[in-house]
Amino acid sequence: MFLCTLHPKILTKPMHKPVALITGASAGIGFEMAKIFAARGYDLVVVARTAKKLKEIRTQIPAHTIVTDIPLDLSLPNAAAKLFAATQKKKLKVDVLVNNAGFGSNGRFVELDRKNELQEIDLNVRTLTELCHFYGKEMAARGTGKILNVASTAAFQPGPYMAVYYATKAYVLSFSEAIMEELKPKGVRVSVLCPGPTHTAFVERAGMQGIRLFKNKFMHPMSAVDVAKIGVKQFLRGKKIIIPGFMNKLVAFANRFSPRFLVRKIAASLNRI
């Protein structure tokens, strides 16, 4: 009979838990994703503009989850570099990066506030790109890691009355598909989530409460909970382009074969108040 004894240090050495960094984590899809990743055994780095809202996340996350909250306006210049520096300083190894932060605006382009439109581009495009570069490079060097960029079904078409938002999401889809091929040989998996209409605070900020898109009985806006559940599940399974909901898949597919003038007309009709 053989007895096996373990060294005390082996018994007490803590196991490494994977870390998920989620931007725009204080509400909506990002908040729901934070809860799901925590339930799946991840520690969290949560990023949003408001420190108070970030701290509220802790009340709905299991006590054994380590939550690092970093209040930061990611639409500001050098925000991505500041976030990366903060995680480096805390010696956090990010295993999953979720680029969820973003916003939109509704109205005739030339009548919207130019500064706000440029800030929208900065957050939805520039910051996402920079974070993918910072963390993607680190992941590639380690030979492992996952990135989930949140786009939209808006990525598959032009969007009159939400011109900048649709254009930024088209960038996110195209960019994500490109780097998923580049990073795959390095052991880094990239996916892109393309939700359709979803009930979140995003709708209020964009001034979209009254548009036909959210009144259309065929579109059936989804809840942030459902989008997050589908998104995380398929992401961790390795699906590349994730479109939650049958109707959203159908619309994205139909846009590829419909005449462009018709796609523009329909989008304009749905986005107009």
Count of beta carbons in the 10 Å neighbourhood of residue 12: 7
As beta bridge partners, residue 190 has: 147
| Residues contacting residue 25 through CB under 8 Å, at least 6 positions apart | 31, 33, 34, 44, 46, 47, 48, 54, 57, 100
CA distance 5 to 230: 44
Residue in 42, 135, 161, 165 annotated catalytic: 165
Choose among 22, 121, 106: nearest CA to 75: 121
CA distance 127 to 119: 10
CA distance 46 to 114: 29
Question: What spatial distance separates the first Cα and last Cα of the chain, rounded to whole Å?
Answer: 79
Count of beta carbons in the 10 Å neighbourhood of residue 16: 9
Choose among 113, 103, 106: nearest CA to 213: 106
Contact 104, 150 (CB under 8 A): no
Token pair 């299991």: residue: 62
Is 161 annotated in the active site? no
CA atoms within 13 A on the CB side of 258: 17
Residue positions annotated with a catalytic role: 165
